[in-house]
């Protein structure tokens, strides 16, 4: 009896240790269930890119497998992307009860779109991507010590619009897009995935939408040329879609977190009422020195509350320097550094604004900070500011 009790306690202890270790290994994965059998798994924190899961009756389809972050403390215990992929597969299996994965839908070759694949292919999944994407995947070593040629039977190479699962009630329309047709596409070729049954278009990082807030509404949302092209693609391809699925962010319904699915009407409202990056930059540039001085705190608060992309302010600073409107450039650079403190490149921006404004003591102060940093400062600091100024003077003569 004593031996049985000891054995029971030993087994229980082993089970608990296994669960604890398993919990540590998968603690970076967050599952968020959505409607119409579409859910997401977040790699790391909720601001990280998502792995979208579309559940079919007999299998799963995965849209994108972003780079999987791990605890720095466990760097030695998890050495390869393949090891991390196995953890992800185990996590997916635990949720979907070992339902097989049929397709991995890969839009382009950036690591937030695909960073690991071999473990999925070896379990029977097929990778859906383009020839250009494969070239870069091979260079990055996505296929481990092999190449895509070794897995050719598990790869569906897309070179034109194609339909997967055409014989089913829930097909996937694969849209082949090229940079020559849509300038904002980040790679030579790019794939959108349309799910006609759900009227859902998976656009990956080509769409970056977020909810409006009560204070600013659509005036708090900034968009770029990618969103304009998404709307154009929907029109060009005559797509009957109601929603887009993107790579980042979440939507919220009654305070509950949902996958990043945004309605087409929301997209259209952003295009009509939101700020294009260039126009927002121009808006800041057109503000008078007095307006910028008076509204300095409000401008900073606007950026914080709406999570405005910091590059817009940086662009505005350098545009003002080009226009020789140096005092305003200094003010905007100060706001930028408050918004993104301790960034060496934005300390450099403020230093250059002071330098051009004739405030050499201030410029020298920021030059010293840059020199003392551990960053690569070859293209930052006083020498570069002098070179930039001389180049501008030459181009104006």
88: pLDDT strictly greater than 80: yes
CA distances from 182 to 54, 176, 206, 278, 317 (A): 27, 11, 11, 18, 29
Mean pLDDT of the chain: 90
Mean pLDDT of 88-106: 97
* Distance between CA atoms of residues 275 and 279, nearest Å: 6
Which of 72-81, 214-223, 274-283 is least confident? Answer: 72-81
Percent of the chain with pLDDT over 90: 81
pLDDT, position 53: 98
> In the chain, what are the domain boundaries?
27-190+254-262, 277-396
pLDDT, residue 386, reads 94
Q: For residues 317 and 329, what is the distance between their CA atoms, to the nearest angstrom?
A: 5
CATH code of the domain occupying 27-190+254-262: 3.60.15.10
Report percent pLDDT > 70 for the chain.
89
pLDDT top residue among 22 and 315: 315
Averaged pLDDT for residues 19-30: 51
Residue 76: which pLDDT band, with cuts at 50, 70 and 90?
very low
Which of 57 and 19 is assigned the larger pLDDT? 57
Per-residue pLDDT of 166-212, as tens digits, reads 999 999 999 999 999 999 999 999 999 999 999 999 999 999 999 99
Q: What is the pLDDT of residue 378?
A: 74
The CATH class given to the 277-396 domain equals mainly alpha
In this structure, which long-range contacts are made by residues 47-56, counting pairs with CB atoms below 8 Å and at least 24 apart in sequence? 47/248, 48/248, 49/112, 49/113, 49/205, 49/247, 49/248, 50/247, 50/248, 50/259, 50/260, 51/88, 52/202, 52/245, 52/259, 53/92, 53/96, 54/195, 55/96, 55/99, 56/102, 56/170
């Amino acid at each position: 009896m004593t031996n049985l009790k000891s054995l029971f306690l030993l087994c229980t202890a082993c089970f608990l240790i296994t669960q604890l270790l398993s919990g540590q290994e998968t603690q970076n994965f967050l599952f968020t269930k959505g409607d119409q059998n579409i859910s997401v798994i977040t790699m790391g924190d909720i601001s990280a890119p998502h792995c979208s899961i579309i559940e079919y009756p007999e299998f799963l389809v995965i849209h994108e497998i972003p780079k999987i972050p791990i605890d720095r403390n466990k760097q030695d215990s998890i050495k390869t992307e393949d090891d991390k992929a196995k953890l992800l597969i185990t996590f997916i299996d635990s949720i979907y009860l070992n339902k097989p994965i049929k397709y991995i839908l890969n839009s382009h070759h950036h690591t937030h779109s695909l960073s690991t694949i071999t473990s999925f292919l070896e379990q029977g999944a097929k990778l859906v991507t383009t020839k250009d994407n494969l070239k870069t995947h091979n260079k990055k070593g996505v296929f481990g010590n092999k190449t895509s040629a070794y897995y050719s039977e598990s790869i569906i190479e897309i070179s034109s619009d194609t339909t997967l699962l055409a014989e089913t009630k829930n097909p996937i329309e694969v849209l082949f897009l090229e940079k020559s047709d849509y300038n904002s596409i980040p790679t030579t070729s790019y794939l959108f995935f349309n799910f006609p049954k759900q009227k859902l278009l998976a656009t990956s990082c080509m769409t970056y939408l977020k909810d409006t807030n009560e204070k600013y509404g659509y005036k708090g949302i900034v968009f770029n040329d990618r969103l304009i092209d998404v709307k154009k693609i929907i029109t060009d391809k005559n797509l009957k879609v109601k929603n887009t699925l993107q790579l980042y962010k979440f939507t919220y319904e009654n305070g509950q977190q949902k996958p990043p699915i945004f309605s087409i009407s929301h997209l259209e409202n952003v295009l009509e009422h939101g700020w294009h990056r260039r126009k927002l930059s121009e808006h800041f540039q057109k503000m008078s020195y007095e307006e910028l001085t008076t509204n300095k705190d409000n401008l900073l608060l606007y950026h914080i509350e709406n999570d405005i992309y910091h590059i817009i302010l940086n662009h505005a600073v350098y545009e003002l320097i080009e226009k020789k409107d140096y005092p305003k450039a200094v003010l905007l650079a100060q706001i930028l550094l408050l918004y993104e403190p301790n960034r060496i490149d934005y300390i450099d921006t403020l230093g250059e604004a002071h330098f051009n404004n004739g405030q050499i003591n201030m410029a020298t102060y920021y030059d010293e900070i840059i020199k003392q940093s551990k960053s690569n400062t070859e293209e930052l600091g006083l020498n570069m500011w002098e070179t930039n100024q001389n180049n501008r003077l030459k181009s104006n003569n």
